[in-house]
Amino acid sequence: MTSSFGFWDYFIFISYACLILGVGLYVSRDKKGHQKNAEDYFLAGKSLPWWAIGASLIAANISAEQFIGMSGSGFAVGLAIASYEWMAAVTLLIVGKFFLPIFIDKGLYTIPEFVEKRYSTNLKTILAVFWIALYVFVNLASVLYLGALALETIMGIPMVYGVIGLSLFAAAYSLYGGLSAVAWTDVIQVVFLVIGGLITSYLALDAVSGGQGIFNGMKTIYEAVPEKFVMILDKSNPEYNNLPGLGVLVGGLWVANLYYWGFNQYIIQRTLAAKSLRESQKGIVFAAFLKIIIPFIVVIPGIAAYVMVNDPGTMDRLGDLAMNNVPSLAQADKAYPWLLQFLPVGLKGVAFAALAAAVVSSLASMLNSTSTIFTMDIYRQYINKNATDKSTVNVGRLSAAVALIIASITAPLLGGIDQAFQFIQEYTGLVSPGILAVFVMGLFWKKSTNRAAILGALTSIPIALYFKVGQNGWSENPFFVDIPFLDQMGYTTLLTMGVIALVSLSQNKGQEDPKGIPLTKELFKTSPKFNIGAFAALIIIAVIYALFWN
C-alpha cells in the first residue's frame, strides 16, 4: 500500500525536516573561543530547564515502538496495552523522588558510572558492554526497522532505503551536537508527535462513527468491541500471557518500568543534564502528564482500526482505499500506517512528520547515550585515560556513527516480527530483572557487596531462561512452569535479590559495605510543586483504571 501525498503533505514534511536540522545545527555550534567538552556534549552543559527535560524524556521514549508497535497491540489486544504507559507515569514519579536525588548527588554522566562508585570497575565494564550491545542490536535496530516499515507501508519506500534515510536524518544533527542538539530538537519533536497523533486519533474516530465526531467515535468503538476496553485481563483472554491480569499492577510490569525509566542511559541522561535536582524533578512530573495522554494517540487508533476492518459498513463507506493492504490480527503492526491513508491532504504530512519525529528523536537519543557509555566507561577507562576534551568529543561522534552503521545493517533482519512492541519487552525482560535487582539493592541496602552483585547479575540469566523454557512448551515437564513473561520478570527479580542478599550476608557477616550509600530524609525531600503535580497525576491514573477495570 502506498499513500497519496499531495503538495502540502510534502511541504509540511520537508518544512519539519528543515526545522529540526536547522535547530539541531544551531544549538550545536561552538561558542566563540570555547571548545566543546564532555559535559557540553554528553550532558548539554547541565543547562536544561524542566520543560525541555520533560519533552525530551517523552520524545526519547515514544518511537516507532509506540506509534507502530503499540498501535498494533491496541489492534490485537485493546486498551490493556496502555498499562505500559499509565504505569510508566507512576514509575516516573518514583524515579524522580527516590532515584534522581542519588544520581545527581553523585554527579553521574552514565548509569554504569554509578555501578563503579557503588560496586566496582569490573561490574561497571560488564554492564557497559551489555548496554552498548543491547542499544545497538535491539533498541536502535528495532526503531530503524519499525520506522522503515512505516515508510514502506505508507509511501512504498523499500525497507533498505527507509533505514538509510532515517539513519542519515538522525545522524545529521545528533552526531555533531550531542545531547544539547538532541534535547532541544526533542521539544519540537514532541509538538509534532502530540499534534500529529491527536489528528490521527480524531480522524480515525470520526471515520468509524460516519463523520459524527470524536465522542460518537469513542462510543461506537466501545459499543462495538467492549472487550478491548478491559484494562485487567482474565485468564480466558487469549492475550493474558502478555498482560497477566493484576500482574500489570503489582507484578513484573514494575520491573520493566523501573528498569527502563530508572536505569536506562538514553532515558535518564537528560535528567542528569538538568540545571538542578528541583528542575529535573519538575521535568519528571511534566513527562508523567504527557505519558497519561500517549495511549489516546497510539492505542485508541489501533482499536479504531480494528473496528473499521471488521465492520463491513465502515469499509464500504471508506471505499476502495480501505481495501488496500487491510491489516489482520497476524499483521497488527500495519494498523497505524493503514490508518494514515484516510487523512486528507496536508494532514497526512503532519501525521507523517509526527511518526518521523518519534523515530528520529529516539534514534538520536539512543545514539548519544550509546556513545556516552562507550566514551566515558570504555574509552576513557581503558584506552585513553588522559583524553583531551577534543578527543573525547570526537570519539563520542565516531562511536555513535559506528553504532548507527551496525544497527542499520541489523534492522532489515528483524522482518517478520509481529507485535514488535511485545517482542522488545519480552526480549529485554530476560536481562532487566537482574540489572534492576543489582541497582535497587545497591541504592537502598548498604550491606550489598560487589561479589554479591556480580553473582546476582550472572544468576539472573539462568533463572530467567528457566522460566522462559517453561513458557516455550516444556511446561508438561514437572520441573518447569508456564507463567506469563511479566510474572517471570517479577519472580526473577525477587530471586535475584535473594541471591544478592544471601551472598552479601555470608560475605560481610551482616556488616555494611564500605561503598553503601548513606540515605537521609533530606536527600528525598521534594518541593510542593512536585508533590502537588505527582498527586494530581496519580488521581487521574486511578480514575482511568476505575473506569476501565473490566
SS3 244: coil
Rounded to whole angstroms, what are the CA distances from 134 to 428, 429, 430, 476? 8, 12, 12, 32
One-letter amino acid for residue 529 of the chain: K
Share of the chain above pLDDT 90, in %: 36
Residue ranges of the chain whose pLDDT lies below 50? 1-2
CA angle 540, 303, 468 (to 5 degrees): 85
> Residue 282: phi, psi to the nearest 5?
-65, -40
Residue among 252, 291, 231 at smallest CA distance from 96: 291
C-alpha cell at 340: 494514515
Residue among 108, 56, 6, 42 at smallest CA distance from 345: 6
Residue among 62, 39, 61 at smallest CA distance from 179: 39
Largest CA distance in the chain: 74
Neighbours of 233 (CB within 10 A): 25
Q: In sequence order, what are the residues at sequence separation of 6 or more whose Cβ sits closer than 8 angstroms to the Cβ of residue 409? A: none
pLDDT of residue 1: 43
pLDDT of residue 527: 93
Specify whether the CB–CB gap between 375 and 42 falls below 8 A.
Answer: yes
Tell me the chain's radius of gyration from C-alpha atoms: 23
C-alpha cell at 290: 504527557
pLDDT of residue 445: 93
Query: DSSP state, 231?
Result: S
CA dihedral 13, 18, 21, 26 (to 10 degrees): -150
Rounded distance between C-alpha atoms, residue 379 and residue 484, angstroms = 40
Dump strand ranges (E) for 118-252: none
CA angle 498, 494, 253 (to 5 degrees): 160
Q: In sequence order, what are the residues at sequence separation of 6 or more whose Cβ sits closer than 8 angstroms to the Cβ of residue 455? A: 499, 500, 503
Residue matched to cell numbers 491480569:
245
pLDDT of residue 355: 78
> Residue 245: phi, psi to the nearest 5?
55, -130
SS3 263: helix
Helical pair 420-428 and 253-263, crossing angle rounded to 10 deg: 80
Q: In sequence order, what are the residues at sequence separation of 6 or more whose Cβ sits closer than 8 angstroms to the Cβ of residue 116? A: 123, 124, 377
Alpha helices in 68-135 (DSSP H): 71-76, 83-94, 100-105, 111-118, 121-134
pLDDT of residue 474: 58
CA angle 212, 214, 216 (to 5 degrees): 55
> Residue 168, exposed/middle/buried by CB under 10 A (0-12, 13-18, 19+)?
exposed
Q: Is the dihedral of CA 221, 327, 1, 416 positive or negative?
A: positive
